[in-house]
Amino acid sequence: MGAVGNPVADFVDSLDLDAHVVGGAVRDELLGLPGKDLDFVVPGVGHAELRTALAPHGRLEDLVVGEQLVGVRLHPRDATLRAAQPAGLEFAPPRRERSTGPGRHDFEIVADAAITLEEDMRRRDFTINAIARSLRTGEILDPLGGRADLEARILRTTTATSFRDDPLRIVRGLRFVSELGLDADADTVRQMREWGPQLEHVSGERIGGGLAADGMGELSKLLLGAEPARALRLARDTGVLPHLLPELASSIGFDQESRYHDLPLDEHIFRVVQAAADDGAPFAVRLAALLHDAGKPASAWRGKDGRLHFYACPQLGKRAHEEIGAELAAAALARLRYPTRLRQRVRRIVREHMFGVADAGDGVRARKFLQRHGDELAFDLVAHKRADLRGKREGQDAANAAELDGLDRFREALAAALEHPHRLDQLAVDGADLIAEGWQPGPALGAALQHLLACVVGDPGLNTREWLLAEAARKRAA
């Protein structure tokens, strides 16, 4: 019985294969969430029979896990099906798996028509994902009580060896805590503690940069969930966090001893991440929130006031925490195989996140801020600063409220400044115009253009061809 209005389900139902929708699509359907791509397990049918049944409908691609054949992906000829599920439709016989080592590919996999659908469910990660729905009858197969766990919002592994079989499942479980608001049961928490160190065997792109069809790894999905702080606290409390992000290990329980903070550093970080999520901040801002204060423990020095400080102190050989943090963020994101442009963007947010917001409504300052950082990064920095301020204290005090108000006014000034020139390509002249006036290509020409931009940022009314050429001539003659 295909789902109403779902062309993929209707098509697969028409094949008369007794196919079952499995995994996340069933879970989300039961939760009333928007549908995911549908994956199918077909009991009683072998690999060769699957290929024969699917071949008339499009291009086939064998699915291989650990150099072992596990199923078939169909890239359908039908344009409606391709549009509904661009990555293709996956079909597999039921299978059993047995771990033979710590690596992702260290598995003995048996995919066979004789294996029951119940056995296939038991090799999955969590009970909430071990649910199948028959397309033919609509019947739900739930051998491990996943539906009850969904209703109770419980995260429970399918077996005692789930995390041993694939340690990435630990991060996936944390992701479900963030996305679905789950609580891990006591045995799952124990397993996280036991198998967390095995995350060192998991490749960085599976954790962060993403090998999934959507290009997002489990940590990325955790940060994009509704309750990332909940998941990060579980990662800390189970000892998983240092294995997931060693850059944050020294932050756990670190007392900032600061008049600006009354929270341990790890709790502050978690609250900043949560505030960024609550604000719907861009993904780069959420990553930066996670790593923005990672440099504090290494930068800390005690002042005459008896408190710790985290800005640069050359006399003590201490660098600013944002400088150290930017390096740690860059190293972490490289290890997790995030794209280069994203790594650079996050690094810059971390490096520049300590900017002040005095004279928040000053249009000149706003234009200079845009000139220095560019439009995208400027608003990223404001979004991060807002989350950072909201994560400083147990409760928001008057000083914090005043800073937030100033930040909101600064954002308004930035938005207004977008209408005024603050980039070289917005000048009424360009390099070719100056060359026509006798300038030679080279550093002096570039410096002249930057000078003209600085003048225009200070007074947008100067952005006329006549004034700019006259000012360039004056500067050349000086």
Name the range with the highest mean pLDDT among 17-26, 43-52, 276-285. Answer: 276-285
Residue 129 burial class via C-beta count within 10 angstroms: exposed 0-12, middle 13-18, buried 19 and up: buried
What is the spatial distance between Cα 305 and Cα 344, in angstroms, rounded to a whole number?
Answer: 36
Amino acid making up residue 412: E
C-alpha 239/C-alpha 202 separation (Å) is: 17
Least confident of 37-41, 169-173, 239-243: 37-41
Does the pLDDT at position 400 exceed 90?
Answer: no
Which of 31, 39, 36 lies closest to 132 in space, CA to CA?
39
Mean pLDDT of 247-270: 93
Q: CA geometry: angle at 9 spanning 8 and 13, to 5°? A: 120
**In 3-state terms, what secondary structure has residue 153?**
coil
- Cβ density class 11-40: b for 16+ within 10 Å, e for less: bbbebebbbbbbbbbbbbbbeeeebbbbbb
pLDDT at 104 over 60: no
Question: Which of 1-5, 88-92, 186-190 has the least mean pLDDT?
Answer: 1-5
Output phi, psi for 39, to 5 deg.
Answer: -110, 150
Q: Is the pLDDT of residue 211 over 80?
A: no
User: Does residue 101 have a pLDDT over 60?
Assistant: no
Q: Which residues are registered as beta bridge partners of 21?
A: 40, 133
The predicted model scores a pTM of 0.90
Provide the pLDDT confidence category of residue 68 given band limits of 50, 70 and 90: confident
Sign of the dihedral defined by the CA atoms of residues 401, 403, 404, 406, in that order: positive
Confidence bin at 402 (pLDDT 50/70/90): confident
Which residues lie across from 96 on neighbouring strands? 110
C-alpha triplet 345, 328, 400: angle, nearest 5°: 70
Predicted local distance difference test score (pLDDT) of residue 361: 75
Radius of gyration of the chain (CA): 28
Q: In angstroms, rounded to a whole number, what is the distance separating the alpha carbons of residues 421 and 427?
A: 7
What SS3 state is found at 447?
helix
- Name 315's Cβ contacts closer than 8 Å, sequence gap at least 6: none
Percent of the chain with pLDDT over 90: 82
Dist. CA 278–CA 70, nearest whole Å: 40
Is-contact 67 117, C-beta < 8 A? Answer: no
Quick one: pLDDT at residue 258? 84
Q: Which of the residue ranges 30-34, 220-224, 248-252 would you say has the lowest mean pLDDT?
A: 30-34
3-state class (DSSP) for residue 383: helix
As a whole number of angstroms, the distance between CA 206 and CA 166 comes to 11
| Residue 43 pLDDT greater than 80, yes or no | yes
What would the two tokens of residue 192 be? 């996280």
| Mean pLDDT score across all residues of the chain | 92
pLDDT of 190 above 50: yes
Share of the chain above pLDDT 70, in %: 93
3-state secondary structure of 79: helix
What is the residue-wise DSSP string for 252-288? TT-----TT--S-HHHHHHHHHHHHHHTT--HHHHHH
Q: Token pair for residue 355? A: 């900017």
Q: Which secondary-structure segment (H or E) carries 97?
A: strand 95-99
Helix, strand, coil share of the chain (percent; to 5): 55, 10, 35
Q: What's the average model confidence in pLDDT over 321-325?
A: 98
- Inform me whether the pLDDT recorded for 6 exceeds 90: no
> 397 pLDDT band (50/70/90 cuts)?
low
> Residue 396: its pLDDT value, please?
63
- Average pLDDT over every residue of 71-94: 94
The per-residue pLDDT for 357 is 81
Q: For the beta carbon of residue 275, count every other beta carbon within 10 angstroms.
A: 22
Mean pLDDT value across residues 299-309: 94
Q: Which of 299, 302, 329 is nearest to 317 (CA)?
A: 299
Report the C-alpha gap between 335 and 105 in whole angstroms.
20
Burial pattern 208-220, b for ≥16 Cβ within 10 A else e, equals bbbeeeeebbbbb
How far is residue 446's CA from residue 338's CA, in Å, rounded to a whole number?
33
Please report where in the chains the tokens 């940069």 appear, as a residue: 209
Retrieve residue 422's tokens: 């603050």
The candidate with the shortest Cα–Cα distance to 217, out of 96, 335, 129, is: 335
d(CA 118, CA 136): 17
pLDDT band at 4 (very low <50, low <70, confident <90, very high): very low
Is residue 378's pLDDT more than 50? Answer: yes
Q: Region of 337 please: left (phi>0), alpha (psi -120 to 50) or beta.
A: left
163 has a pLDDT exceeding 80: yes
The answer, yes or no, to whether residue 1 has pLDDT greater than 70, is no
Tokens read off for 32? 């009333």
d(CA 205, CA 196): 17
Q: For residue 216, name the pLDDT band (cuts at 50, 70, 90).
A: confident
Residue 2 has pLDDT above 70, yes or no: no
Q: What is the predicted pLDDT for the residue at 100? A: 55
Question: What tens digit of pLDDT does each residue of 113-162 get?
Answer: 788 999 999 999 999 999 999 999 999 999 999 999 999 999 999 999 99
